[in-house]
């Protein structure tokens, strides 16, 4: 044990943990260079701390106690790198929503800070208060920066509605808060939300090309490796709220500026959006609160099937997350990378319909009574 101020770092690792750490460091260095290695060491250090721990039973999937500070680590490392580049003289362009308007960065930081409070002191803030504060952050964002509200989707009715000042503002706020909660809800399987954010960052970096996306591609890529291999570091609420804010503002900005079509955005974010809508509907039909959490999500059911043959506590969890991230945002990446469809092609709408159909079929099949995991 080594004393370092008020923190205690336990450096005693089992042979298995040492093997995992060596593999993660090797992959991070090979894929992301020195930045990947340093990021991996920081993440390993965070998991050895005794604060902000997530109980293994919380999500109905994890079988190891893990740190909730993964999102804080991603955001902290990313901001440090961006600040360093700023003082180095890098000229930031407005090709990222976080620098296109000063208030966008404030909404991101405020959302992240709100989530961090919950990570450090779980249940300190009620769900209603958190929803109200998110609504306040984004309500102010869309008042100060109304140009980011998407009203150039290519669908006349939608564009007319979103062009109405009060109505468009209200829909944008509701969608943003709902999307962030969808991201938070989906953060249960290793690699699911981190995989979505990583792939989305790679896509935006290729299409838009801003430094923010390059940085997020590297940092979330390193986190994805750590999350999938060790299962000891979750995004937590800081990650779900902060990265959810980045994704929703990026989607609005990219659609409104013509970088991508609304159909492509739907394919990219298919799983979290579908999961939150279906979850609310089935709870309502069952006579329960639409906002009360449960373990009847598709990722819970897939995990139940996979863990039967899994040889480790982490394998089924991680495979669940990677499968869903690949079937959601991964489809958008494949279609774009292989130039099957351009990001602005309306044919992505049919791809989204196929994703919805597959989701419903798989959910109905796996959620039969004999596979239920609700408790």
* Residue range 102-146, pLDDT digits in tens: 788 888 999 999 999 988 887 788 888 999 999 999 999 999 999
State the average pLDDT over residues 247-267.
94
pLDDT of residue 95: 63
**DSSP classification of residue 52:** S
pTM of the full predicted structure? 0.89
**If we measure between CA atoms, which residue out of 188, 209, 342 comes closest to residue 267?**
342
Residue 60 has pLDDT above 60, yes or no: no
**How far is 136 from 38, CA to CA, in rounded Å?**
36
User: pLDDT tens digit string along 147-160?
Assistant: 999 999 989 999 99
Q: Directed axis angle between helix 236-256 and helix 127-144, to 10°?
A: 30
User: pLDDT tens digit string along 186-195?
Assistant: 887 889 999 9
State the average pLDDT over residues 273-300.
86
Residue 284's Cβ-count burial label (10 Å; 0-12, 13-18, 19+) is exposed
- DSSP string covering 104-129, please? HHHHHHHHHHHHHHHHHSTTSS-HHH
């Amino acid at each position: 044990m080594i004393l370092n101020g008020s923190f205690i770092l336990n450096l005693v690792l089992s042979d298995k943990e040492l093997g995992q750490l060596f593999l993660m460091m090797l992959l991070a260095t090979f894929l992301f260079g020195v930045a990947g290695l340093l990021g991996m060491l920081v993440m390993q250090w965070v998991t050895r701390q005794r604060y902000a721990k997530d109980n293994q039973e919380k999500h109905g999937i994890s079988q190891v106690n893990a740190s909730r500070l993964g999102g804080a680590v991603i955001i902290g490392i990313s901001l440090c790198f961006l600040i360093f580049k700023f003082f180095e003289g890098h000229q930031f362009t407005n090709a990222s929503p976080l620098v296109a308007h000063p208030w966008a960065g404030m909404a991101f930081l405020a959302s992240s800070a709100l989530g961090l409070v919950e990570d450090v002191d779980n249940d300190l803030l009620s769900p209603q208060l958190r929803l109200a504060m998110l609504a306040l952050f984004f309500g102010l964002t869309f008042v100060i920066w109304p140009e980011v509200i998407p009203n150039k989707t290519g669908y006349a009715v939608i564009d007319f509605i979103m062009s109405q000042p009060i109505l468009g503002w209200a829909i944008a706020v509701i969608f943003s808060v709902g999307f962030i909660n969808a991201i938070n809800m989906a953060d249960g399987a290793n690699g699911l939300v981190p995989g979505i954010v990583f792939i989305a960052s790679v896509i935006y970096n290729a299409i838009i090309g801003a430094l923010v996306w390059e940085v997020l591609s590297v940092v979330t890529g390193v986190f994805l490796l750590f999350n999938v291999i060790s299962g000891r570091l979750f995004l937590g609420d800081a990650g779900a709220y902060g990265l959810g804010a980045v994704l929703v503002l990026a989607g609005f900005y990219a659609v409104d500026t013509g970088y991508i079509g609304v159909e492509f955005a739907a394919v990219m974010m298919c799983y979290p959006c579908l999961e939150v809508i279906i979850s609310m509907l089935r709870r309502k039909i069952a006579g329960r609160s639409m906002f009360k959490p449960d373990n009847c999500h598709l990722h819970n059911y897939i995990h139940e099937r996979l863990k039967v043959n899994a040889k480790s506590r982490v394998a089924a969890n991680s495979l669940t997350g990677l499968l869903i991230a690949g079937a959601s945002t991964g489809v958008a990446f494949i279609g774009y990378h292989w130039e099957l469809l351009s990001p602005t092609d309306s044919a992505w709408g049919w791809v989204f319909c196929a994703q919805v159909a597959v989701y419903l079929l798989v959910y109905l099949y796996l959620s039969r009574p004999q596979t239920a995991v609700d408790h």
